[in-house]
C-alpha cells in the first residue's frame, strides 16, 4: 500500500486537483490519501490556512467571517463547481461560523482548510472520508499521543476502499482540535504511512525533490537523488523547505521510504528519503541549507574552563527565560550560545541581567543578524579535508566565519556568518563541493 500526501499547490485549483486524481488513479496501490488545504494559485494569492487564521482573528474582534471566511467560502465553492461536485459548501461554512462563535481556537479555525480539502478530494475520487480528529490524537498537555494514534491508524490497513484524510490536525481528549506546526500535513502523512506499515510514503508537492542548495541563490543546483532520514532532518530544519523535518519520526522504526514527487511532473523520479543510504558512491556533501537572522550570545570569562557549573548555570538562565539554543561552541574562556531567530527586546535585556547575576562574565555580547549554514552529508564521515574545504571556500570569498560547529556524528558542519555574507557564502560553498 502507498500513502500519498498532496500539498497545498496540488490542491489549489480544479486543474491541479484533476492532476492529483489522475496520479492516484494511475496506481491502485495509492489507497490512502492525505491532503493539505488549498495553497496559493498565483504569487499574490492567499493560502486557505492563512485566510482561516485571519478569520479567527476577525472573530475575536467582530462579526464572524465577514471578510476572510467569505473568501474561503468562494474558493471552495468555485472548486466544487469547476469539479462538478455535489457538495454543500455553505453548510460547512455555517458549521465553521458556529465553531468560531463557540469558544473556538486558532487551531480549530486553521484545521478547517484541510477538512474541506479532504471533503473535496474524497468526492472527486469516490473514496471514503475519515476525519483526522478520529485517528490522530493529542494528550491533555498538547503533546502528540503516538501510541493511541498508532492503534487507531493501524485499523486502516484492512480498508477495502480508498480513503482520504485531512492533514495538519488531530484531536485532544476534550475533543478540541489541535494542529501540528505549519506544514504539518507532511507529518500526518508520515504518521499514517508508518501506522499502516506502507511500502512507500509519497509526498507530492510542486517541486521534483530536494536540491543541493537553494535555487533562488545558486543557479541550477543539482537535484538530490537520495537522502537519509538524518540528512533530511538537518537540511529541512535549516531551511530546505520541501518536507517538514518531523516527518521522519513516525517512519524511522520500520523504515518506510519517502519519495518526494512533483504533481506537475509526475514522471520525474524525485528524491528518495531512506533510513540509510549506502556510503560508497556518495559525494562528500549531500546538500547545503541555511537560515538568516539568528543570534549569538557570546560570553567570556577568565578561567571559565575551571569554573565548575558555569555551563549549567548559563543554560538554566536560558531555560528560565524560555530560550532554547541551537549550538554551543566553547573555548577555554569563551562560550557562544547560538539561538534561532532574533530575541525579543525584553527577553534580551532580561537574559543579559540574569546571566550577569548568575555567572558574572567578563564580557557578554549579543549579536543578531547571524546566518547559520549547514553543510550536510554522511559522505564527510571518515574523509579528510571537509572542514578545510569549507574554511578555504569562505576565506576565498572574503567571508568571516563567526562560528563553526561539527557534531560528533560527522554528517553536519554548521557555520555562522554575518547575514550580509549569507548569499555569497552559500554560493562559495556550493562551488567548492559541487562544481
Ligand atoms: N495548511 C497547513 C499550512 O499551511 C498545513 C500544511 O499545508 O501542511 O501550514
Mean pLDDT on 223-247: 90
Categorize the per-residue pLDDT at 227 as very low, low, confident or very high, splitting at 50, 70 and 90: very high
Q: Do 288 and 233 touch, CB atoms closer than 8 A?
A: no
Ligand 1 center to 110 CA (angstroms) = 9
**DSSP per residue over 144-213, as a string?**
B-HHHHHHHHHGGGG-SS-EEEE-SEEE-TTS-EEE-STTTHHHHHHHHHHHTT-SEEEEEESSSS-BSS
φ, ψ of residue 373 to 5 degrees: the values are: -125, 125
φ, ψ of residue 164 to 5 degrees: the values are: -120, 130
205 CB less than 6 Å from ligand 1?
Answer: no
DSSP letter (8 states) at residue 223: B
Categorize the per-residue pLDDT at 425 as very low, low, confident or very high, splitting at 50, 70 and 90: very high
For domain 2-206, give the CATH number: 3.40.1160.10
* Helix 386-396 and helix 422-434, axial crossing angle in degrees, nearest 10: 130
Residue of 183, 186, 205, 246 to mutate, ligand 1, most atoms within 8 A of C-beta: 183
Mean pLDDT on 183-205: 97
Does residue 409 register a pLDDT over 80? no
Categorize the per-residue pLDDT at 380 as very low, low, confident or very high, splitting at 50, 70 and 90: confident
**DSSP per residue over 259-307, as a string?**
EEEETTSTTS--EEEES---STT--S--EEEEEEEEEEEEEE-TTGGGS
Ligand 1 center to 380 CA (angstroms) = 34
Does residue 415 register a pLDDT over 80? yes
pTM for the model: 0.89
Ligand 1 center to 8 CA (angstroms) = 7
Mean pLDDT on 35-61: 94
Q: Do 329 and 404 touch, CB atoms closer than 8 A?
A: yes
What pLDDT score was predicted for residue 66?
64
Mean pLDDT on 190-196: 97
Q: Which atom of ligand 1 is nearest to the CA of 188?
A: 8
pLDDT one-digit tens code per residue, 56-81 = 988 888 765 568 999 999 999 999 99
Does residue 372 register a pLDDT over 90? yes
pLDDT one-digit tens code per residue, 320-336 = 999 999 989 888 999 99
Strand partners, 5: 34, 203
Does residue 382 register a pLDDT over 80? no
What pLDDT score was predicted for residue 431?
97
Return the CATH architecture of domain 287-434: 2-Layer Sandwich (3.30)
Share of residues in the chain with pLDDT > 90 (%): 83
Alpha helices, DSSP H only, in 14-88? 14-25, 48-61, 68-82
What pLDDT score was predicted for residue 279?
65
Cα–Cα separations (whole angstroms), residue 210 to 41, 215, 397: 22, 10, 26
Q: How far apart are CA 412 and CA 385, in angstroms?
A: 14
Categorize the per-residue pLDDT at 414 as very low, low, confident or very high, splitting at 50, 70 and 90: very high
What pLDDT score was predicted for residue 61?
80
Coil, strand or helix: which one is 324?
coil
Residue 411 or 166, more confident: 166
What pLDDT score was predicted for residue 280?
66
Ligand 1 center to 82 CA (angstroms) = 23
Q: Do 361 and 301 touch, CB atoms closer than 8 A?
A: yes
Q: How far apart are CA 168 and CA 158, in angstroms?
A: 23
- Which residue ranges make up each domain of the chain? 2-206, 287-434
**Cβ atoms within 10 A of the Cβ of 98, count?**
11
Strand partners, 202: 4, 259
Residue with cell 461554512: 93
DSSP letter (8 states) at residue 330: B
What pLDDT score was predicted for residue 53?
95
Residues 6+ apart with CB under 8 A from 66: 58
Closest CA to 261 of 277, 276, 272: 272
Q: How far apart are CA 349 and CA 359, in angstroms?
A: 16
Categorize the per-residue pLDDT at 253 as very low, low, confident or very high, splitting at 50, 70 and 90: confident
Residue 111, all three cell numbers: 484545521
Mean pLDDT on 37-53: 97
49 CB less than 6 Å from ligand 1?
Answer: yes
Categorize the per-residue pLDDT at 354 as very low, low, confident or very high, splitting at 50, 70 and 90: very high
Does residue 296 register a pLDDT over 70? yes
Q: Do the bridges between strand 30-35 and strand 128-129 make them parallel or antiparallel, or are there none, so unpaired?
A: unpaired
Report the number of secondary-structure helices (H) and strands (E) in the chain.
14, 16
203 CB less than 6 Å from ligand 1?
Answer: no
> What does the mean pLDDT of the chain come to?
93
Q: Do 73 and 93 touch, CB atoms closer than 8 A?
A: yes
Residue 369, all three cell numbers: 543578524
What pLDDT score was predicted for residue 362?
96
Q: How far apart are CA 101 and CA 287, in angstroms?
A: 47
Ligand 1 center to 396 CA (angstroms) = 40
Residue of 11, 12, 37, 47 to mutate, ligand 1, most atoms within 8 A of C-beta: 37
Q: Which atom of ligand 1 is nearest to the CA of 114?
A: 1
Amino acid at each position: 500500500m502507498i500513502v500519498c500526501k498532496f500539498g497545498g499547490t496540488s490542491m489549489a485549483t480544479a486543474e491541479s486537483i484533476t492532476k492529483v486524481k489522475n496520479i492516484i488513479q494511475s496506481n491502485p496501490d495509492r489507497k490512502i490519501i492525505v491532503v493539505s488545504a488549498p495553497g496559493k494559485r498565483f504569487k499574490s494569492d492567499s493560502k486557505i490556512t492563512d485566510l482561516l487564521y485571519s478569520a479567527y482573528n476577525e472573530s475575536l474582534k467582530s462579526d464572524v467571517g465577514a471578510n476572510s471566511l467569505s473568501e474561503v467560502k468562494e474558493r471552495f465553492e468555485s472548486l466544487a463547481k469547476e469539479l462538478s461536485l455535489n457538495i454543500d459548501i455553505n453548510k460547512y461554512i455555517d458549521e465553521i461560523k458556529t465553531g468560531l462563535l463557540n469558544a473556538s481556537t486558532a487551531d480549530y479555525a486553521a484545521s478547517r482548510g484541510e477538512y474541506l480539502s479532504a471533503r473535496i478530494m474524497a468526492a472527486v475520487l469516490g473514496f471514503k472520508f475519515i476525519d483526522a480528529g478520529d485517528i490522530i490524537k493529542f494528550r491533555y498537555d498538547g503533546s502528540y499521543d503516538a501510541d493511541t494514534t498508532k492503534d487507531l491508524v493501524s485499523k486502516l490497513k484492512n480498508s477495502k476502499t480508498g480513503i482520504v484524510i485531512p492533514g495538519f490536525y488531530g484531536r485532544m481528549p476534550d475533543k478540541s482540535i489541535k494542529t501540528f506546526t505549519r506544514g504539518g500535513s507532511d507529518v500526518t502523512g508520515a504518521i499514517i504511512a508508518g501506522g499502516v506499515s506502507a511500502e512507500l510514503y509519497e509526498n507530492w508537492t510542486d517541486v521534483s525533490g530536494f536540491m543541493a542548495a537553494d535555487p533562488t541563490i545558486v543557479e541550477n543546483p543539482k537535484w538530490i537523488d537520495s537522502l537519509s532520514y538524518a540528512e533530511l532532518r538537518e537540511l529541512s530544519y535549516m531551511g530546505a523547505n520541501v518536507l517538514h523535518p518531523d516527518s521522519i519520526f513516525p517512519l524511522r522504526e520500520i523504515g518506510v521510504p519517502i519519495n518526494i514527487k512533483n504533481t506537475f511532473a509526475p514522471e520525474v523520479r524525485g528524491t528518495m528519503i531512506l533510513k540509510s543510504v549506502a556510503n560508497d558512491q556518495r559525494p562528500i556533501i549531500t546538500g547545503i541549507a541555511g537560515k538568516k537572522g539568528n543570534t549569538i550570545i557570546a560570553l567570556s570569562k577568565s578561567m571559565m574552563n575551571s569554573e565548575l557549573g558555569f555551563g549549567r548555570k548559563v543554560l538554566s538562565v536560558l531555560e528560565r527565560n524560555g530560550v532554547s539554543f541551537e549550538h554551543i561552541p566553547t573555548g577555554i574562556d569563551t562560550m557562544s550560545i547560538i539561538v534561532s531567530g532574533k530575541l525579543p527586546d525584553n527577553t534580551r535585556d532580561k537574559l543579559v541581567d540574569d546571566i550577569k547575576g548568575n555567572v558574572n562574565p567578563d564580557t557578554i555580547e549579543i549579536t543578531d543578524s547571524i546566518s547559520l549554514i549547514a553543510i550536510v552529508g554522511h559522505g564527510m564521515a571518515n574523509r579528510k579535508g571537509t572542514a578545510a574545504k569549507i574554511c578555504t571556500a569562505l576565506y576565498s570569498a572574503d567571508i568571516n566565519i563567526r562560528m563553526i560547529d561539527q557534531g560528533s556524528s560527522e554528517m553536519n558542519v554548521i557555520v555562522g556568518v554575518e547575514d550580509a555574507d549569507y548569499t555569497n557564502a552559500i554560493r562559495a560553498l556550493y562551488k567548492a563541493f559541487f562544481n
